[in-house]
Amino acid sequence: MSKCTNFTEGEFYQEHFDSRAYVTNFYSCPDGHSDEKNFLTFVLKCFSRVFSSGENKGRMLIDVGSGPTIHSVLSACQHYDEIVLSDFSDNNRKEIEKCLENQEGCLDWKPVLQHVCEMEGQSLSDLKAALKQRVKKVLKCDVRLENPFHPHTLEPADCVVTSLCLEAACKDFHSYCRALDGLSKLLRPGGLLVMVGVLGETFYKVNEQLFSCLRLTKHDIEEAIQGSGLSLHEFNILPAEDREDNSVSDFEAVFHLTARKPSD
């Protein structure tokens, strides 16, 4: 089994992460990568269930660690006035900006956009317009900092979303808990955290480049959520299929959770 000898933190991503290959390999269709069997379909369905009804809505949503992707906010973008996307890597942020501005050569998100539209009964043009209108900023972030957006201070958000970020950015459980505490501080009282992550993963590959991952259990995450002062509302798990045939990662399961910051 492949593994990284040193944990690949943000600086390694800045130098070695191929943003375009990542999206092409893992997000070119709603099924995601063929080795990961329904991973992306599960994630898109979870986001849709949380956001599409409009029950969860507000003024601001912050997506922490977006990577070069936009899928985490597709179901939410019509229900929040302002959306902030973010990532540590300069190239990841550039790819998001190219996509939002529909620049020549931007990555193709149409299959994923169409899938979300079909799930939610909305038009592709309306979803594209909402995304372009509501995403106001694409900022640099570093979840290893107490304030991930230092030196900027963002106003408290109604919702914070994070997908496949903390376990890739945090080299040990202490760092993971500290990062989750930082996300909690971004929320207003009563605000919602929506998280997607992986259980039991130690690595994933973009083409042949290895990236490390903090191996976590469901109990680890529940402990970290409780320690950050959030109240866990739901925790959904999709176990990995055919793990021995997966050449791009070694995750045991993908999870989705929602948690809420107590109201004052």
Write out the binding residues: 22, 27, 65-66, 87, 92, 142-143
Distance (Å, whole) CA 29 – CA 162: 21
Element holding 226 (H helix, E strand): helix 218-227
Cβ-Cβ contacts under 8 Å for 125 (sequence gap 6 or more)? none
Assess contact for 113 and 27: CB atoms under 8 A. Answer: no
Q: Of 192, 193, 215, 200, which Cα lies nearest the Cα of 246?
A: 200
3-state secondary structure of 13: helix
Q: Of 68, 83, 65, which Cα lies nearest the Cα of 142?
A: 65
Binding site for S-adenosyl-L-methionine, residues? 22, 27, 65-66, 87, 92, 142-143
**In angstroms, how far is the first alpha carbon of the chain from the final one?**
48
Burial class from Cβ neighbours inside 10 Å (0-12, 13-18, 19+) for residue 233 reads middle
Distance (Å, whole) CA 201 – CA 246: 12
DSSP state of 36: G
Distance (Å, whole) CA 154 – CA 5: 36
3-state secondary structure of 174: helix
**CA dihedral (93, 95, 100, 104) positive or negative:** positive
